[in-house]
Amino acid sequence: MKGIFYDRATRRLHTVNGMPDPDWTLISHNLEATFNQCRRVLRELLSMEELAHVDWSALHQDRAA
């Protein structure tokens, strides 16, 4: 499975091309989803306070790897 997943335990986004951790939540099947697209989906899942603490840098690091 591939996609962008959210890990509540670490408040990080991860790009995955394989098997994600079973506790992670699928945000998008599109590995090229933008920050705004991911934020829009997460706004439906998280409170505004939780959303403010998401580590967005992880998404950029995963793509650069």
pLDDT of residue 22: 96
pLDDT of residue 48: 94
> Could you list the residue range(s) of the whole structural domain that residue 28 is in?
2-64
pLDDT of residue 32: 87
Number of domains comprising the chain: 1
Q: In this predicted model, what pLDDT tens digit does every residue of 15-60 receive, in sequence order? A: 899 999 999 999 999 988 888 999 999 999 999 999 999 988 766 6
Query: Do 24 and 17 meet the contact criterion of CB atoms below 8 Å apart?
Result: no
In this prediction the pTM is 0.84
Query: Do 5 and 25 meet the contact criterion of CB atoms below 8 Å apart?
Result: yes
pLDDT of residue 65: 47
